[in-house]
Structure 1
Amino acid sequence: MQNVLIIGAGTGGSIILDLLQNVELMNVSAIIDTDEYAPGIIRAKELGISFGNDWRKFLHDNVHIIFDVTGDELVFSQLLEAKHSQTVLIPGSVANLIVQLLQENHTYTKRIRAEMHKQRLIFDSIDEGMVGINANCEVDFFNKRASEMVGISIEDAIGKKVTDVIPLTKLKDVFKSGKSEVNQELVLANGLEIMTSRFPLYDQKGEIVGAFAVFKDMTEAIALAKEITDLEKVQTMLEAIIYSSDDAISVVDENGYGILVNPAYTRITGLTKDEVIGKPATADISEGESIHMKVLETKKPVRGVNMRIGENNNEVIVNVAPILMDDELKGSVGIIHDITEMRNLMNELDQARAIIRELESTNTFNDIRGDSAEIKIAIEQARIATDNDFTVLLRGEVGSGKALFAQAIHSEGTRKFNKFIRVNCTAIPPDVLEAKLFGKFSEGEKGKKEKTGLFEEIDNGTLFLDEIADLSLSTQRKLLHYLKTGEFYAVGSARPIQTSVHIITATCQNLEKAIHDGTFLAELYYLLNRIAIQIPPLRSRKEDIAPIVQHLLVKLNNELGMNVEVISYEAKRLLEQYDWPGNIRELENVINRAMIYMEQSEMILEAADVKKSLFSSNRSKEKSSLPAKSTLTSMMDDYERSILEQALTENEGNKSETANRLGISLRSLYYKLDKYNLA
């Protein structure tokens, strides 16, 4: 048994803890984290595993493996020095790889088990009895219907000789002879008459490894034959089944000419019955070979083939099986499943994951580019804020990088290992925002209910309140009380709650004017203004455009799958001549659109590319080709986003005036701002 010590109880440590519970030779002796509310600590409490905040107390000679998932090089070096010589220390990078491998193994195992369970459900749901034997003529498969017909439970049948389960069976003879027997009558020990077909089972080497029988109650078969005596009724029923399928069905004769297709086939391929019936099987193929012809040649089924078919070039998965009557080939039937929609959903999922990764990323001061005096002063002031828990007020225009500064202050401060949450005070209705921040205590049908707020949820972390000027006066008073006392009251509660949350705020509005207008509390302003950082607009530091663009190229190359290395001198000059009312956010949008218009192989961002993007409102007057990497939807989204940015800039970030200017409701504006991450 290997004793394991986990250092770091965040997401990675929690995952390792759960995964090691399923490994028999691994025993987690303890998990360590400075945050007593870390996911791994909470999980350890549930499992009864030791935990603490100082790993030195748990580092004994009997610890065989240490997982360091803190990501802190100092912790790793200390562990490396303090550990026993025979103890294996696994760094975070290797631990993450192990987590990934274990998760993949768990996923594949779960998938295989689910598939086996699904197959068992299928076999148990069909009306035919099924029994299989191995090379020792012992029953190794027995479905639910067979159990009902034979009168022996599945548990009692498995592992027994087949003659003990079905005394008169000839399945043993089929195994010995290797010859199939189709539609044979048999009377079971309980007197039930059945119709059975028996087949030998071969492995990949062509050797017999067992035999399999499928049988049906003759009573039901006779009743069914009496009920369905009219061949036309049978044909009508079959056509109804085929025509009702959402999957395309295609049938060809023994020569490969189409004889039947259903409506789903026409919908997926775009081809009518007249274009397929009587035509060769290759008529519907846009890319690849005809599976029908391959099946007709080999007389063997082919499954899970990816193809493109029809005028719409749809991507499909094809399963085709031969039609055999008395061992004579009569044609083949194909089932076509359209996966175009599935692919689109997978692409959307990949995009969503990319957005989530971007939202979850933590920026540092290294991500704030520029050598101008103004930005250096702002960075110096921000670094001071990392050394203490004083409230910080970030001031600057829309798109100037206030959120980037807030993330950098948190990621390099004393609370960097705890939560950082950004709240846009403009995008959330006042009553909802107050409950979101401080929690809510209310009476429900089953008694009192309490909803935890962010101030309690991110204790010891950082809360970034963006657009602080849009807070309601009621919420301002609660925030003021918290800053003065360190405690707050949930909505509807009289019980004070104490937490320690570092507050960072930001605004693009004139707070002094808001105080004069009575929409912002003067006392709150003075408390928030203890460390005030003015972030300069991009137009006042145009010498920083070049390093910012170079940083953006690295980021956008990853997103667009390109390899643009530099921006030309002419393009840089063109960018420096513009005043950038939308600041860095607008600059990123311009570079992003410019790269979309480039060819995949280009490595230099030229002035022509920038000009197309910078003056996109005049595109209709220019003769230019559509970008190779954009769809109509993405181009319309880019255009809508640029209009929103311009309208926000013209109205100095005022959401009500922006909505009136664009002729849309305020609720619609909030939705669009959230959609394009402009909130």
Structure 2
Amino acid sequence: MERILRIVLDSIIEGIIIVDKEARVVYVNKNAQRLLGLPSDIVGKKVDEVVKNTRLHIVVRTGLPEIDQVQHTENAVIITSRIPIRDENGNIIGAVAVFRDITSLRKLAEEITNLKEIEAQLKAIIDSTNDAISVADENGIVRLVNKAYTKITGYSPEEVVGKPATVDIAEGESIHMLIAKIRQPIYNARLKVGPAKKDVIVNATPLFVKGVFKGSVAVVHDVSEILKLNNELEEVKRLIRHMRAQYTFDDIIGESRLIQIAKEQAKKVAQTPATVLLRGESGTGKELFAHAIHNSSPRKNKPFVSVNCAAIPETILEAELFGYEGGSFTGALQEGKRGLVEEADGGTLFLDEVGKLPLSLQPKLLRFIESKEFVPVGGRSVKKVDVRIIAATNLDLEKMMRNGDFLPDLYFRLNVFPIYLPSLKDRKEDIPKIAIHIVKKLNQQYGRMVEGISPAVIKYIVSKHWSGNVRELENFIGRVMINMGPEERYIEPKHIPEFSTEKPEIGEPENRQDKIGPLKDMVEEYERQIIINALKQSGGDKMKAAKMLDISVRTLYYKMERYGIEE
């Protein structure tokens, strides 16, 4: 039995030394001799005389175990446990030392520590660059993004890391996924990313480690501002917006029953050429629905022309809509000009604020809707176009019709397929998702990295009445984000001055010396109050209110939209 025991002890990888109560060596196995460089004739000798730095004799004397002690030898680093041996009565009759070589383990731990330090340095370097960088593995799963990436896309690392590289793509094919297939570099790829569909150019290369494909790294350049300036160069010369429809039904946020009904109605009518009348309060998303209907229709690759009937002076609205022949009036171009109706040929004409269309122009619009034919101002020849009409209003057209302010025949031609868009007060359950979507959108516009909204603030904004609906909510969140520190990541109650006390109802401007805040905010609030009072005094007449304020009607509409003022 003793022979078997010795064979077993000699076979294990640990070194073992056993001493008696006099601290004399009674057994040493082969691994102990190898690790400590001991001769084979130490049995029977005092352990402290034959083993350097041993503490077995101390353990025999004190009876105290010493567990997992690191010890350096000439050739290795070992970890030792020294345990006293007691008889059945608890008397110390010896001690045993069990130890193992941890030199290789220690080197591995040091290498891991060094790798972590290198990883942290690389991440700091990547975060310091202004170019957005994303890294994906061989399966196209995102593994790393930097701060600049969040600024461009609006997505935080938590929202994309560990997910397929398609997660941030609004339009186009994921470059990471493509490289995972072809394993070749791709340069100057054009994509749209994030909720705001920013235009970007992507350069990406595959990563190979010892000849094995391990993933890809992409550098994303934001070119949306340059494209926006180019696209708007011609638009700023006009009082309308002539654009390509930007949004789809996926951009309409909300799961409430009312918004789902509106979306389903819009999706059905989009497949037909029927005229659509979008109705709802200011800021409920009428223009968003117009874009989505056009993009879901057979006309999606044709022009989408939007005109605000209230923003263009009555004197030139007819010429803007239907065009004019050269020299037909003072200031007209000699070669004449195509109108918006003709520019929309084959596509969609969006008549926003159609309730503000001058009564004098309504008969001509009615004739056009009925026949799809028109005569330019100053012209004689009839032109025919194929245009789908989408109109929008927040006014009571039925009341206007009874009062003689809107032609009944035009009303019936526009009201072929009415869609009512609910206000935020009727779909409060959608407000949290809408607010988060706005934060992501404004992250891109403002170059911020706000990651979310605290539950207390969510509860606050759900409880408020947003008379300007989504537009007013977006203005509110925009002001809050501007006032946040650049490193702050969550909108908290402290960022909202009126969080603890609701603002009083807006009335006459007054010198409120008891409420002092940032000068910019106070000036804007004062301006908002003045505009509201001017609209009240003018009975809602925008032309009269603009004249009272000595500003243009267009400026008045801009400020009303900016401050979320209902009409």
Instruction: Calculate the TM-score normalised by the size of structure 1.
Output: 0.44
CA distance in 2, matches of 1:637, 1:499: 48
Task: In structure 2, give the amino acid aligned to 1:557.
Answer: N
| Per-residue Cα deviation, 1:254-275 (whole angstroms, up to 9, x for no partner) | xxxxxxxxxxxxxxxxxxxxxx
1:387–1:652 CA distance, 2 compared to 1 (3 A): farther
CA distance in 2, matches of 1:396, 1:95: 34
CA distance in 2, matches of 1:370, 1:652: 37
Quick check: 1:392 aligned with 2:276? yes
CA distance in 2, matches of 1:398, 1:582: 6
Task: In structure 1, give the amino acid aligned to 2:376.
Answer: A
The correspondence for 1:565, drawn from 426, 444, 451, is: 451
Task: Name the SS of the counterpart of 1:93 in structure 2.
Answer: strand
Quick check: 1:406 aligned with 2:502? no
Deviation at 1:607? 2.3
Task: Name the SS of the counterpart of 1:423 in structure 2.
Answer: strand
Deviation at 1:464? 0.9
CA distance in 1, matches of 2:402, 2:558: 30
**Greater helix share, structure number:** 1
1:379–1:94 CA distance, 2 compared to 1 (3 A): closer
Match of 2:357 in 1: 471
Task: Name the SS of the counterpart of 2:429 in structure 1.
Answer: helix
* Cα RMSD after superposing both structures: 4.1
The correspondence for 1:603, drawn from 477, 489, 502, is: 489
- Highest Rg: 1 or 2? 2
Task: In structure 2, give the amino acid aligned to 1:372.
Answer: S
Task: Name the SS of the counterpart of 2:278 in structure 1.
Answer: strand
Match of 1:310 in 2: none
Determine which structure has greater relative contact order: mean sequence separation of CA pairs < 8 Å that are 6+ residues apart, divided by chain length. 2
Task: Name the SS of the counterpart of 1:464 in structure 2.
Answer: strand
Quick check: 1:549 aligned with 2:435? yes
Match of 1:488 in 2: 374
| Per-residue Cα deviation, 1:414-446 (whole angstroms, up to 9, x for no partner) | 222222221111111223111100111254699
Deviation at 1:447? 11
Match of 1:580 in 2: 466
CA distance in 2, matches of 1:416, 1:482: 22
Match of 2:266 in 1: 382
Task: In structure 1, give the amino acid aligned to 2:549.
Answer: I
CA distance in 1, matches of 2:501, 2:231: 27
Deviation at 1:640? 6.4
Structure-to-structure mapping, 1:627-638, within 5 angstroms? 635=521, 638=524
Structure-to-structure mapping, 1:189-268, within 5 angstroms? none
Deviation at 1:494? 2.2
| Per-residue Cα deviation, 1:277-300 (whole angstroms, up to 9, x for no partner) | xxxxxxxxxxxxxxxxxxxxxxxx
Task: In structure 1, give the amino acid aligned to 2:291.
Answer: Q
The correspondence for 1:668, drawn from 547, 552, 560, is: 552
Task: In structure 2, give the amino acid aligned to 1:514.
Answer: M
Deviation at 1:384? 1.6
Quick check: 1:591 aligned with 2:486? no
1:489–1:648 CA distance, 2 compared to 1 (3 A): farther
CA contact (8 A) 1:571 1:608 kept: no
CA distance in 1, matches of 2:415, 2:278: 9
Match of 2:336 in 1: 450
| Per-residue Cα deviation, 1:69-102 (whole angstroms, up to 9, x for no partner) | xx888xxxxxxxxxxxxxxxx9993599xx999x
CA contact (8 A) 2:190 2:200 kept: no
Task: In structure 2, give the amino acid aligned to 1:400.
Answer: T
Task: Name the SS of the counterpart of 1:533 in structure 2.
Answer: strand
Match of 1:415 in 2: 299
The correspondence for 1:440, drawn from 324, 330, 333, is: 324
Structure-to-structure mapping, 1:273-352, within 5 angstroms? none
CA contact (8 A) 2:278 2:393 kept: yes
Aligned residues: 336
CA distance in 2, matches of 1:623, 1:576: 26
Task: In structure 2, give the amino acid aligned to 1:385.
Answer: V
CA distance in 1, matches of 2:407, 2:414: 11
Task: Name the SS of the counterpart of 2:293 in structure 1.
Answer: helix
Tell which deviates more after alignment, 638-647 or 538-547. Answer: 638-647
Runs of 5+ unmatched residues, structure 2:
1-170, 174-185, 193-198, 202-224, 234-240, 505-511
1:497–1:556 CA distance, 2 compared to 1 (3 A): same
Quick check: 1:534 aligned with 2:420? yes
Runs of 5+ unmatched residues, structure 1:
1-70, 74-89, 102-348, 627-631
Deviation at 1:375? 0.9
Task: Name the SS of the counterpart of 1:441 in structure 2.
Answer: coil
1:552–1:596 CA distance, 2 compared to 1 (3 A): same
CA contact (8 A) 1:647 1:658 kept: no
Deviation at 1:591? 0.5
Match of 1:6 in 2: none
Deviation at 1:674? 3.2
Match of 1:93 in 2: 189
Instruction: Calculate the TM-score normalised by the size of structure 2.
Output: 0.52
Deviation at 1:558? 1.1
CA distance in 1, matches of 2:319, 2:549: 27
Task: Name the SS of the counterpart of 2:362 in structure 1.
Answer: helix
1:366–1:402 CA distance, 2 compared to 1 (3 A): same
CA distance in 1, matches of 2:305, 2:374: 18
Task: In structure 1, give the amino acid aligned to 2:294.
Answer: H
Task: Name the SS of the counterpart of 1:654 in structure 2.
Answer: coil
Task: In structure 2, give the amino acid aligned to 1:524.
Answer: L
